[in-house]
């Protein structure tokens, strides 16, 4: 399967070579639904540029991702009316990072949803 930079699956999604369910995008970032959601509406926000992790991302790009996370939170609040939201990022395999293209998880939460905050990707 053709992916993206260095065989990166999220580069493939950004380039449109791999399928995803995009919910928002701008010049710098893309937001799409996680393929194995921890909760309904679980969204990933990625920079279009391939950067590996929190040490690799510039402050500028980090800010662009943060701005998109903010937009996604607003969209999810309107669409799904959750009771809360978690914004989570993993850098390094020890922290649970499985895909080494920087991304931030945006996870809608509901009272008593029982979601384990220590969740990580399967």
Binding mask 50-79 for Zn ion (x = CB under 5 A): x-----------------------------
98: burial class by Cβ within 10 Å (0-12, 13-18, 19+)? exposed
Which partner from the list ligand 5GP, Zn ion, none does 8 bind, CB cut-off 5 to 8 Å by kind? Zn ion
Q: Rounded to the nearest whole angstrom, what is the least distance from the CB of residue 49 to Zn ion in the complex?
A: 8
| SS3 of the chain | CCCCHHHCHHHHHHHCCCCCCEEEECCCEEEEECCCCCCCCCEEEEECCCCCCCCCCCHHHHHHHHHHHHHHHHHHHHHHCCCEEEEECCCCHHHCCCCCCCCEEEEEECCCCCCCCCCCCC
Q: Rounded to the nearest whole angstrom, what is the least distance from the CB of residue 18 to ligand 5GP in the complex?
A: 6
Rule CB under 5 A: is residue 105 a binding residue for Zn ion? no
Binding residues vs ligand 5GP (CB under 6 A): 9, 20, 32-36, 44, 90, 96-99, 120-121
From 33-41, 69-77, 86-94, 97-105, span contacting Zn ion (CB under 5 A): 97-105
70 is catalytic: no
Residues designated as active site: 103
Residues found near Zn ion in the complex (CB under 5 A): 5, 8, 10-11, 50, 101
């Amino acid at each position: 399967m053709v992916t993206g930079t260095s065989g990166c699956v999220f580069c493939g999604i950004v380039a449109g070579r791999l399928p995803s369910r995009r919910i928002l995008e701008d010049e710098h970032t893309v937001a799409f639904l996680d393929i194995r959601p921890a909760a309904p509406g679980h969204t990933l926000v990625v920079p279009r540029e391939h950067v590996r992790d929190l040490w690799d991302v510039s402050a500028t790009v980090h800010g662009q991702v943060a701005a998109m996370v903010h937009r996604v939170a607003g969209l999810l609040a309107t669409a799904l009316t959750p009771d809360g939201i978690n914004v989570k990022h993993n850098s390094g395999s020890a922290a649970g990072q499985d895909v080494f293209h920087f991304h931030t998880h945006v996870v809608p939460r509901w009272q008593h949803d029982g979601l384990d905050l220590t969740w990580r990707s399967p």
